Amino acid sequence: MRAKPFEAAIFDLDGVIVDTAKFHYNAWKRLAGELGFAFSERENEQLKGVSRMESLELLLLAGGITEVTPERKEALASRKMSGTRSSWQRLRPLMYCPVSANFLGHLRSCGIKTGIASASKNAPFILDQVNIRPLFDVVVDGNSIVRAKPDPEVFLQAARLISVAPAACFVFEDAAAGVEGAIRAGMRVVGIGDGRLLTRAHLTITSFEQLEPVFLMSHMGITGSTGWGDGPNGQ
Ligand code: BG6
Ligand code: MG
């Protein structure tokens, strides 16, 4: 059966539109170090796309730290946050993936709606920092959702606000939790990063530079030999 035409592109923010995923990792790693344990990049994969407080829970679990009071958790989360923000301010010129402006402009000139679906409460701050808010028709972030990825809420809310059916949305994600959330939303998903970690994505690419050809293929409705699967797990 032919897929519904592509009407909207919904992007995760950290690690997709801006190169900030490493800042989150570095801040969690630093916090783990302060708490007395090492935290590897591999362990960090499960934190990607996950809300701040849920990430903290996973980090504490990885460090075998239990019985932490809610007040202490709040304090640890704020400490992590100030670490991330100071990196952003220092490295601001490196945050923006240079291809994205062209690609987003191309999408919009073809009449494709664009959106951000991010778990981060800092999404408005980041978009303002790099001055790319006008490139998106909608921004849904950690401030306006109740359930974090892998729940589909953030994606469904973005689709509803731009009046596009989920089946006509493509999602671009670097996190396994985000890929899962988009699939649960009934959307098609391009995973950006290591295909071995993003196994549920319909297609995985390794860098943002590859997005444009992917878009052209999908926009033209070409499937099969282009590398697009029929769906997660071949469904
Ligand atoms: C996601 C990141 O976009 O936002 C996670 O992938 C991060 O690493 C989460 O923890 C929450 O971000 P923030 O800015 O609200 O702490
Ligand atoms: Mg991400």
CA of residue 2 to ligand 1 center, whole Å: 35
Residue nearest to atom 10 of ligand 1 (CA): 52
pLDDT band at 229 (very low <50, low <70, confident <90, very high): very low
Domain segments of the chain: what residues? 8-19+96-234, 21-91
Distance CA 69, CA 105 (A): 47
Residue 174 annotated to the active site:
no
Ligand of minimum distance to the alpha carbon of 148? 1
CA of residue 20 to ligand 1 center, whole Å: 9
Question: pLDDT by residue (tens digit) across 84-96?
Answer: 777 766 655 555 5
| Predicted TM-score (pTM) of this structure | 0.86
Question: pLDDT by residue (tens digit) across 94-143?
Answer: 555 655 677 788 788 888 999 999 999 999 988 888 888 999 999 999 99
Q: Please state, in angstroms and as integers, the Cα–Cα distance from residue 130 to each residue in 173, 192, 212, 225, following that order.
A: 20, 21, 21, 37
Top-tier CATH class for 21-91: mainly alpha
What's the order of all strands across the beta sheet hosting 113-117? Answer: 138-140, 113-117, 8-11, 169-173, 188-192, 203-205
Q: Of 88, 120, 155, which is best to mutate to test ligand 1, by the most ligand atoms within 8 angstroms of its C-beta?
A: 120
Neighbours of ion ligand 2 (CB under 5 A): 12, 14-15, 174-175
pLDDT for residue 169 = 95
Q: Of 25, 44, 48, 52, which is best to mutate to test ligand 1, by the most ligand atoms within 8 angstroms of its C-beta?
A: 52
pLDDT for residue 220 = 45
CB atoms within 10 A of CB 40: 11
pLDDT band at 38 (very low <50, low <70, confident <90, very high): very high
pLDDT for residue 168 = 94
Answer whether residue 207 shows pLDDT above 50: yes
Top-tier CATH class for 8-19+96-234: alpha beta
Share of the chain above pLDDT 90, in %: 57
Question: pLDDT by residue (tens digit) across 3-27?
Answer: 567 899 999 999 888 888 888 999 9
